Amino acid sequence: MKDRIPDKTGHFGIFGGRFVPETLIYALDELEKEYTKSKKDKNFAKDFDYLLREYAGRPTPLYLAKNLSRVLKIKKIYLKREDLLHTGAHKINNTLGQVLLAVKMGKSRLIAETGAGQHGVATATVAALFGLKCDIYMGEEDITRQGLNVMRMKLLGARVISVKSGTRTLKDAMTEALRDWVTNVRNTYYVIGTVAGPRPYPEMVRNFQAVIGREARSQILKKEKRLPDYLVACVGGGSNAIGLFHPFFDDAKVKMIGVEAAGLGLYSGKHSASLEAGGVGVLHGSKSKILEDESGQIKNAHSIAAGLDYPGVGPEHAYYREIKRAVYVSVTDKEALEGFKLLSQSEGIIPALESAHALSYLKKSARQFKDSIVIVCLSGRGDKDLHEPH
């Protein structure tokens, strides 16, 4: 079943597809052709595995968090330690896959958009590794907020282009990056950082991130001789979550929970919970659940976790929700900060504020998980978040 989605037109049920200007079709077709070819190319798989292992540090451990399990009175909580990867988060899995495609396609330049700067850093990293030029689009507002990541990208040799249009944040940066791609498609590859965007991006990014779930599945079978009861992961665009979920799709007994950012509360209007509180619409080239106002304008998302601060979500999650394969919940900024502290102090692991959303949901609903084996995706490390009040 899981290998049949998306269909040939890039649809997951009614979601996904390709809603782009005519001028982008050529670029997307070229990418899709190369990606389809790479799926059957043994050398591509070999190169990708090599980089994941030797450069990024895979496989990541599936760590039994005994202290946290005891504190929350949950049978067993395992953490999939994506925080231990090079650059400190799961995003490197995807950028390594995409840079290999870019090189195969003979492109000499990478572009990407970034909000908090995490995807920008992961892209600048692989550009440096392969000696490619790299331009990162970033909203002017975000550039001031995320100084450290801007310095990282520059040190890695990338140019950070300040976007001054609109709200000067992520969604405007994405629009500018698309515009650049249309103009420079001959030598330029556009690296999207999550399971969003037009076909073939959502499927492609999912498959690059599915290494998380494949490893977790075989690790838990080895440790417990059985599958977990629950998978829990935070959802921004949804790439770490779908990466964990997808390889378990056919295991009907394994329940999946995606945790969105409720920000200051779902009724405050300041949140990023597109699945729980959004409507169906088109954003950045595909149909999904998005945050929009009455007149169809995209609303600004809010979350204390910069990586969750996106007004859309990958179409595959909208589909999983529709067919009830996964459930989606949300936790507030304040609750996320409790999760942040809880893991730091019980296990000596400082999680990214994004991942802290998933942990915080365990705390909030501990009763539900009492007799369960739970795998939580620890999508990144929290050093970047120390400036937040906690």
Ligand X SMILES: *Cc1c(COP(=O)(O)O)cnc(C)c1O
Active site residues: 91, 113, 379
The edge-to-edge listing of strands for the beta sheet with 109-114 is 159-163, 133-139, 109-114, 188-190
Question: Counting contacts by CB under 6 A, is residue 237 touching ligand X?
Answer: yes
* Token representation of residue 188: 């330029």
Taking the complex as a whole, how short is the minimal distance between the CB of residue 71 and ligand X, in angstroms? 23
Site string for ligand X, 311-350 (x = CB under 6 A): ----------------------------------------
| Structure letter (DSSP) for residue 56 | I
Question: Counting contacts by CB under 6 A, is residue 239 touching ligand X?
Answer: yes
Q: Which of 99, 116 has the CB closer to ligand X?
A: 116
- Other Cβ atoms within 10 Å of 131 Cβ, number: 9
Question: Counting contacts by CB under 6 A, is residue 378 touching ligand X?
Answer: no
Question: Which stretch in 38-46, 130-138, 231-239, 285-293 sits in contact with ligand X by CB under 6 A?
Answer: 231-239
CA distances from 134 to 56, 173, 239, 359 (A): 20, 15, 22, 35
Question: Counting contacts by CB under 6 A, is residue 89 touching ligand X?
Answer: yes
Looking at residue 85, its amino acid is L
Are the C-beta atoms of residues 195 and 275 closer than 8 Å to each other?
no
Taking the complex as a whole, how short is the minimal distance between the CB of residue 359 and ligand X, in angstroms? 12
Q: Who contacts 128 (Cβ-Cβ below 8 Å, separation ≥6)?
A: 134, 156, 157, 158
Q: Which of 198, 238, 263, 285 binds ligand X (CB under 6 A)?
A: 238
Q: Who contacts 37 (Cβ-Cβ below 8 Å, separation ≥6)?
A: none
Q: Which of 354, 362, 373, 376 binds ligand X (CB under 6 A)?
A: 354
Question: Counting contacts by CB under 6 A, is residue 194 touching ligand X?
Answer: yes
Looking at residue 241, its amino acid is A
- Output the residue with the shortest Cβ distance to ligand X: 380
What residues numbered 108-127 form the site for ligand X, per CB under 6 A?
118
Interface residue list for ligand X (CB under 6 A): 89, 91, 118, 194, 234-241, 307-308, 352, 354-355, 379-380
